[in-house]
Amino acid sequence: MKFLRIKNIVLVFILVLISLPSFAGKNHITIAGSTTIMPVSEKWAKAYKKKTGIVVNVHGGGSTSGIKATQTGTADIGASSRELNYSEKDHLKQIIIGKDALAVIVNKSNQIKDLNIDQVRGIFSGRIKKWNEVGGPDKPIQIINRESGSGTRDLFTEVIMHIMLADKTNKVVPMCLSSIVNNSNAEVKESVKLIPNSVGYISIGYVDNTVKPLTINSISPTPKNVYDGKYSLVRNLYYLFKEENDKSVQSFLAYVLSKEGQLFVTKEGFLPIVENNARD
């Protein structure tokens, strides 16, 4: 009997524990998509909940699945680090919520300050194997790359690894495959910090005094150069949603674009949509 009673108590306890959370929050917005944007979305979700009480759920899954989830209605907002392509444009609207600029970084012990695009391409394609070929010491270069399919790697490939051939067609120079492959900005930064002869690329907001950003063609990766259009390793970050959406989504988007919302973009290492917010 005693055994049975304990069992019952445990059972009730378990049932209560499970049912409790399912009553929490009904009115909510769901965001799915790019994992690059996830940290910012999480920040917005947190602040927006504090402000209005509306719960915003944030899921990852990548840009493409975010776009699909928005089309089918499983998500209210899709987060994407690339522009919608032609077939995806039906019934979807997109807005820019921030910008992401990449900096090429090296270890602090490295003497090199500047590379031109050709040299960066040479290094990442594996043609340039030692730092002395670009004016550094006689040490092998350790490349740190992002994983295949990552939007950051796609952007880097698009801007740096594309070359125009004589007959005006585009060609992608394949990246060197014998590199370290990391899965996030923070991980690349940690690796570059740790390994003396390494080179990698990360969002400029992640650059701090533990690593050294390089200037490319003598243009340094600063927000000002990005807004002036001088620095080319930049992409837009998008939110997309159905044309006919409800008010709660609209007001969340308004919050995202407000001055307060854009502050989180800066905090998470990206650039706000308009320049003057960057200096706040």
Partner 1 sequence: MKTAISKIQAEENFALGALKISGWLIVSVLIFIIGYIFYYGLPEVLSWHYLFTPPEGGRHDNGGILYQILATIYLIIGSLIVAAPIGVFAAIYLTEYAPQNFITTLIRFAIENLAGIPSIIYGLFGLAFFVIFLKFEYSLLAGALSVSIMVLPVIIRTSEEALKSVPQAFRQSSLALGVNKWQTISKVVLPSAFPGILTGILLSIGRIVGESAVLILAAGGSITAIPRFVSTTYPYVLPDSARTLAVHLYYQATSYDARAKAFATGVVLIFIVLFLNWCINQISKGYRKKLAVR
Partner 2 sequence: MQETKIKKYFEKKEKRFWSSFVNLFMEQLFFLSASVAVISLFLITAYVFYNGFKLFQFVPVTDFLFGFDWDPVTQKLFGVFPMIIASCYVTVGALVISAPLGIACAIFLAEIASPATQQVIRPAVQLLSGIPSVVFGLFGLAFIVPLIQDVGDVAGLSILAAIIILSIMILPTIISISEDAIKAVPKELKESSIALGTTKWQTILGVVLPASSSGIVTALILSVGRAFGEAMAVKMVIGNTQTMPDFSPQTGFGLLSLARTLTTNIVGDIEYAEPGPHLSALFATGAILFLFIIIINATSYVCLRRNSVKSNS
The residues that touch partner 1, with contacts defined as CB under 8 A, are 3, 14, 17-18, 21-26, 28, 30, 32, 38-40, 42-43, 45-46, 55-61, 69, 73-75, 182-187, 189-190, 206, 264, 267-269
Q: Which residues have C-beta within 8 Å of that of residue 7, sequence separation ≥ 6?
A: none
Q: Is 198 in the site for partner 2 (CB under 8 A)?
A: yes
267 binds, among partner 2, partner 1, none (CB under 5 to 8 A by kind): partner 1
Ordered alpha helix ranges (H), 53-89: 63-72
Count, in order, helices (H) and strands (E) of the chain: 10, 13
Q: Is 142 in the site for partner 2 (CB under 8 A)?
A: yes
Q: Is 181 in the site for partner 2 (CB under 8 A)?
A: yes
**Closest alpha carbon to 62 in 141, 150, 123:** 150
Q: Is 64 in the site for partner 2 (CB under 8 A)?
A: yes
**Closest alpha carbon to 105 in 174, 205, 178, 35:** 205
Pairwise CA distance, residues 66 & 226, whole Å: 27
Query: Binder to partner 2 among 80, 107, 182, 262 (CB under 8 A)?
Result: 182
Q: Is 42 in the site for partner 2 (CB under 8 A)?
A: no
Distance in Å, CB of 61 to partner 1, minimum: 7
Q: Is 172 in the site for partner 2 (CB under 8 A)?
A: yes
Pairwise CA distance, residues 141 & 161, whole Å: 18
Distance in Å, CB of 196 to partner 2, minimum: 9
Distance in Å, CB of 33 to partner 1, minimum: 12
**Closer Cβ to partner 1, 60 or 126, answer by number:** 60
Ordered alpha helix ranges (H), the chain: 2-23, 38-52, 63-72, 117-125, 151-156, 185-194, 223-227, 247-257, 259-267, 275-278
Residues counted in the chain: 280
Distance in Å, CB of 8 to partner 2, minimum: 19
Query: Binder to partner 2 among 92, 180, 219, 263 (CB under 8 A)?
Result: 180
Pairwise CA distance, residues 198 & 212, whole Å: 11
Q: Is 125 in the site for partner 2 (CB under 8 A)?
A: no
By the criterion CB under 8 A, which residues form the site for partner 2? 35, 60, 62, 64-65, 142, 145, 147-151, 153-154, 157, 161, 172, 174-175, 177-183, 191, 194-195, 198
